[in-house]
Amino acid sequence: MIMSTKAAVAPKVHYLNADYGWKSWLFTTDHKRIALLYLVSVTLMFFLGGAYAVVIRLNLIEPTGSLVTAETYNKLFTAHGVIMVFFFLIPAIPATLGNFLIPLMIGAKDLAFPRINLLSWYVYLVGALITLHALINGGLDTGWTFYTPYSTAFSNTRVITAGVGIFVTGFSSILTGLNFIVTIHKMRAPGLTWFRLPLFVWAHYATSVIQILGTPVIAVTVLLVAVERAFHFGFFDPARGGDPILFQHLFWFYSHPAVYIMVLPAMGVISELVACFSRKKIFGYSFIAMSSLAIAGLSFLVWAHHMFVTGLSVYAAMVFSALSFTVGIPSAIKVFNWTATLYRGSVSWQTPMLYAIGFIGLFTFGGLTGLFLATLGIDVHVTDTYFIVAHFHYIMVGGTIMAYLGGLHFWWPKISGRLYPEWWARVSAVIVFIGFNLTFFPQFIVGYLGMPRRYHVYPAEFQVLNVMSSAGASILGVGYLIPMVYLAWSMRYGKIAPANPWPATGLEWQTASPPPTLNFEKTPVVHEDVYDYPKLLESKEAVLV
Amino acid sequence: MPGVPLFPPQASTIAGEVDALYFFLTAVAAFFSLLIAATIVFFAIRYRRRSNAERPPELEGSLALELAWTIVPLILVTVMFVWGAQVFFHMNRPPDDAMHVSVVGKRWMWKLQHPTGQREINELHVPVGRPVELTITSEDTIHSFFIPAFRMKKDAVPGRYNTAWFQATKTGTYHLFCAEYCGTEHATMIGRVVVMEPDEYQTWLAGGPVPESPIKAGERLFVELNCATCHRIDSPGRGPIVHGIFGKPVKLQSGETVIADAAYLRESILNPAAKVAAGYQPVMPTYQGQVSEESLLSLIAYIQSLPAPVGGR
């Protein structure tokens, strides 16, 4: 149990109370406070995006889609996708947990560029407000994918404004990635060699590479859409000598790697959780670390698997199919190594571990169904159906959000200085897992049956599966609301957390909970290997718990 | 559950191939999902923490295991890749004796035309057991022509001709969907495919008024739009003649060579200056905006039907 035998005492001064007033938050350069600014922002975005999903699922209870009109429905799923992808999933783990933890994990006082870090949050905020303005005043009906020529020549909605918002937000992602890369290279504590870095740091390093290399491409792509729409340039319009398929190449060149921006940090979280709650060194450390880099590299070579039915040449399709399969291998390596870490461990069933186990199961299933989509002969039938919707929700909701919640619980004592209520947390983890599967598993079946995505009405024979999905979504919603309530509650009423409640390895646990503004009293010097649980358990700290 | 299908009807020659592949992948996915899930649950229970005094052994990794769980998945995905590519090749190789149907997507309907000229909207009647090749394009934005029962899908892209084919194996009525989001009424851009016995199909064809076939329509348009002034075998030679040109290489002014396929002919009608044939001046006016997608398809069908002149011009 995480309760200490003797009551922990909170430090008198820490980053949360070192300074007061709204200015101390809005002009802070403390990475931990910026992480909390991001936490609040992405949480708001998550519940806003989730609210759109609720209306979508309510509408789909009946095949006649009688709740909202077709125009409204199209705006709903567009808003859901845009908010969740660009404003929640991409920044969720890196900008909150990554921001908070990377300096702590490497024994640094802050990120390399604290003011750029604050700038990135403001850039995110401005981008988010511009996009939200477009989504609320007039709306957007292109889908989050902005496919041309629909977005350039047919949609009567706020394409340019929303695009500008996404363009702006992209810079926040680039700045964060840049900051992480420089920080990880230059600011590691003495003795913290590359292969002593926690896998969370490796995963964020790989993520940052994608953010820096990929994000400029989506920026240019939305700019081209805006220019074509405003000034009638012919980049994508066939009547002006353009090619609408060119857009898809550009879009997916970023947006497929972007999937790994969402899931690599999640994998980093899971590596930490699995080691801690098995009380073992992670199995195959270097294979997990290198597989993150392999995924980041390969992710740029697979984009056209989104385009197998566009009329792509069969030979190009074969190349992209083969390359897409190769991404599966490093992902499989991670899953096997996590599983092997449990072997002969001392496995605790605390909440973060429940999320980690849920992640491994759902990510494995999501990844395996990805193989169906890399397989040319199957992709033709299932692309653009609910099979795709199910697949990527297994990766992004079953993967990223499970890891995000697991990580949030794991580091909550460090972030807030308080313990969350374990019973409620376990209950909500189980509710999330059940609700998730009930929501998205039926979508594989209805997808193979042929139900296309983005349908506001559908043939009656698909109703039962859609009702199951909607029922699951309501359970899932409850599962997400409960942690909101008890985490907020615990900030004031939770038990005081000790510095290292689990206990866990990693420099972040060797400073107070919550940490002081400059993270460490004096710069730590690292003598141990990473995940040295045997040694930690011999130490005095472990005896306390 | 009665009335709740869990698997789509199998009504084309390809459907069985796709499903066999699908079952193989489902088996692999189920096996590994269960393997991982069962192993994790087993370990989590067998090695659950009973006391804080437990000291797990140090196990850092195993190269043999790493190699095993790299190589085994690699072999499996290689099988998936090769098998999937084979099925895909088959999907993209229409038989030579296929009957040609043209498909034009337009917000929010499917316009189809049979080789004999019959037109349909949101309905496609086809004979069972006969390969049908579709030439698919769009008048506005991107659509996708999707018949789940045939496991067939192809995007309708403006400015492009995509081809797809199927051979229906079972009579009946099947869903036709638009699978690529195309705006407000995307979800109602649906229809049905009616697969009939060949003799019923003949009766159906004979049912309406005798229509103008695409080739006949193309011939008429060829004169009406003044193509005939320059491009017919009896014209004075300002432009390349089109007889027998279809599918043949054409030398361009730029020195390149292109194949005179449907896409090239379409471009040469709409944007004649783009790829001028060697030995000719770019004097042809553009027909952009003056010829509908259906008329273009008819013109191309007509050009395709013209035999090569005997002994040249």
Identify the CATH number of the domain in which residue A208 sits: 1.20.210.10
Please give the residue of chain B at the shortest CA–CA distance from A536: B55
pTM score, two decimals? 0.94
For residue B118, the distance in angstroms to the closest alpha carbon of chain A comes to 26
Question: Is B274 within 8 Å of A371 when comparing Cβ atoms?
Answer: no
Structural domain count of chain A: 1
> In a 10 Å sphere around its CB, with 0-12 CB exposed, 13-18 middle and 19+ buried, how is residue A5 labelled?
exposed
Residue at A325 is within a domain: yes
H or E stretch covering A369: helix A351-374
Interface test with A, best of B10, B79, B80, B288 (most A CBs within 10 A): B80
Are residues B221 and B196 part of one domain? no
Closest of A129, A42, A34 to residue A84, by C-alpha? A42
Are residues B152 and B124 part of one domain? yes
- A176-218 pLDDT, tens per residue? 999 999 999 999 999 999 999 999 999 999 999 999 999 999 9
Residue at A25 is within a domain: no
Residue at B46 is within a domain: no
- Interatomic CA distance for residues A205 and A183, integer angstroms: 10
The token duo for A364 is 């494995």
Residue at B1 is within a domain: no
Which region among A479-483, B191-195, B248-252 has the lowest average model confidence (pLDDT)?
A: B248-252
Residue at A10 is within a domain: no
Are residues B174 and B266 part of one domain? no
pLDDT at position B54 over 90: no
- Interatomic CA distance for residues B158 and B292, integer angstroms: 12
Domain-ending residue, one of B193, B211, B229: B211
**Beta-bridge partners for B153:** B146
Please give the residue of chain A at the shortest CA–CA distance from B19: A378
The token duo for A3 is 């309760």
**Beta-bridge partners for A435:** none
pLDDT at position B289 over 90: no
Q: Is the ipTM of this complex over 0.90?
A: yes
At A543 the pLDDT is 47
Q: Nearest-5° angle of CA A338, CA A344, CA A346?
A: 85
Structural domain count of chain B: 2
Question: Is A333 within 8 Å of B274 when comparing Cβ atoms?
Answer: no
**A495 phi and psi, to 5 degrees?**
-65, 150
Strands B172-178 and B123-127, bridge-based pairing: unpaired
Cβ under 8 Å to B: A residues 475-494: none
Contact A9, A496 (CB under 8 A): yes
Question: Is B88 within 8 Å of A329 when comparing Cβ atoms?
Answer: no
Residue at B30 is within a domain: yes
Question: Is A147 within 8 Å of B180 when comparing Cβ atoms?
Answer: yes
Q: Nearest-5° angle of CA A409, CA A415, CA A421?
A: 40
At A80 the pLDDT is 98
A:B CB pairs within 8 Å: 284
Are residues B171 and B117 part of one domain? yes
At A454 the pLDDT is 97
Are residues B237 and B151 part of one domain? no
- Interatomic CA distance for residues B300 and B269, integer angstroms: 10
pLDDT at position B199 over 50: yes
Domain-ending residue, one of B211, B232, B253: B211
At A544 the pLDDT is 47
Are residues B253 and B269 part of one domain? yes
Residue at B202 is within a domain: yes
Distances (CA, A) of A155 to A140, A224, B34, B145: 8, 16, 45, 21
Q: Is the dihedral of CA A304, A308, A310, A313 positive or negative?
A: positive
At A40 the pLDDT is 97
- Interatomic CA distance for residues B172 and B193, integer angstroms: 8
Count CA atoms within 13 Å of residue A85 on its CB side.
22
- Interatomic CA distance for residues B138 and B129, integer angstroms: 28
Closest of B292, B129, B127 to residue B195, by C-alpha? B127
Question: Is B91 within 8 Å of A374 when comparing Cβ atoms?
Answer: no
**B249 phi and psi, to 5 degrees?**
-70, 145
3-state class percentages of chain B: helix first, strand second, coil last, to nearest 5? 35, 20, 40
Are residues B207 and B79 part of one domain? yes
Residue at A16 is within a domain: no
Going by C-beta distance under 8 Å and a sequence separation of 6 or more, which residues neighbour residue B309? B233, B241, B243, B244
Residue at B56 is within a domain: no
Q: What is the DSSP letter of A305?
A: G
At A1 the pLDDT is 40
- Interatomic CA distance for residues B144 and B180, integer angstroms: 5
Confidence of residue B308 (pLDDT cuts 50, 70, 90): confident
At A2 the pLDDT is 46
Strands B249-251 and B131-138, bridge-based pairing: unpaired
- Amino acid (1-letter code) at residue A494: G
Residue at A26 is within a domain: no
Distances (CA, A) of A420 to A137, A250, A495: 39, 44, 8
H or E stretch covering A293: helix A285-298
Residue at A177 is within a domain: yes
Please identify which residue in the block is written with the tokens 């109370």: A17
* Residues spanned by the domain of B220: 214-305
Residue at A381 is within a domain: yes
Domain-ending residue, one of B183, B211, B239: B211
Q: Nearest-5° angle of CA B70, CA A354, CA A404?
A: 80
CATH label of the domain that carries residue B26: 2.60.40.420
Contact A75, A162 (CB under 8 A): no
Question: Is B17 within 8 Å of A377 when comparing Cβ atoms?
Answer: yes
- Interatomic CA distance for residues A526 and A366, integer angstroms: 38
**Beta-bridge partners for B102:** B113, B135
Q: What is the mean pLDDT of each run of 10 residues along chain A (545 residues)?
A: 59 92 95 97 97 97 94 97 97 97 97 97 98 95 95 95 96 97 97 96 97 95 95 90 94 95 97 96 94 95 96 96 96 96 95 97 96 97 98 96 98 97 97 97 97 97 96 97 97 94 94 95 92 86 50
Question: Is B84 within 8 Å of A70 when comparing Cβ atoms?
Answer: no
How many CB atoms are located within 10 Å of the residue A326 CB?
17
- Interatomic CA distance for residues A17 and A36, integer angstroms: 13
Residue at B312 is within a domain: no
**What strands, in cross-sheet order, belong to the sheet with B109-113?**
B119-121, B109-113, B99-106, B131-138, B162-167
Residue at A66 is within a domain: yes
Are residues B264 and B294 part of one domain? yes
Confidence of residue B218 (pLDDT cuts 50, 70, 90): very high
> In a 10 Å sphere around its CB, with 0-12 CB exposed, 13-18 middle and 19+ buried, how is residue A57 labelled?
buried
- Amino acid (1-letter code) at residue A371: L
Backbone dihedral region for residue A193 (phi beyond 0: left; psi -120 to 50: alpha; all else: beta): beta
Q: Three-state SS for A244?
A: helix
B6 and chain A in contact, CB less than 8 A: yes
Question: Is A459 within 8 Å of B21 when comparing Cβ atoms?
Answer: no
- Interatomic CA distance for residues B304 and B300, integer angstroms: 6
Please give the residue of chain A at the shortest CA–CA distance from B188: A457
Cβ under 8 Å to B: A residues 265-304: 278-281, 283-287
Are residues B164 and B276 part of one domain? no
Are residues B222 and B156 part of one domain? no
Residue at B48 is within a domain: no
pLDDT, averaged across chain B: 92
Going by C-beta distance under 8 Å and a sequence separation of 6 or more, which residues neighbour residue A121? A34, A37, A38, A41, A95, A172
Are residues B13 and B113 part of one domain? yes
- B1-20 pLDDT, tens per residue? 456 789 999 999 999 999 99
Are residues B228 and B166 part of one domain? no
How far is the first Cα of chain A from the last one, in angstroms, to the nearest whole number?
Answer: 7
- A463-484 pLDDT, tens per residue? 999 999 999 999 999 999 999 9
Closest of A193, A141, A29 to residue B181, by C-alpha? A141
Closest of A147, A251, A478, A72 to residue B140, by C-alpha? A147
- Interatomic CA distance for residues B191 and A153, integer angstroms: 26
Residue at B45 is within a domain: no
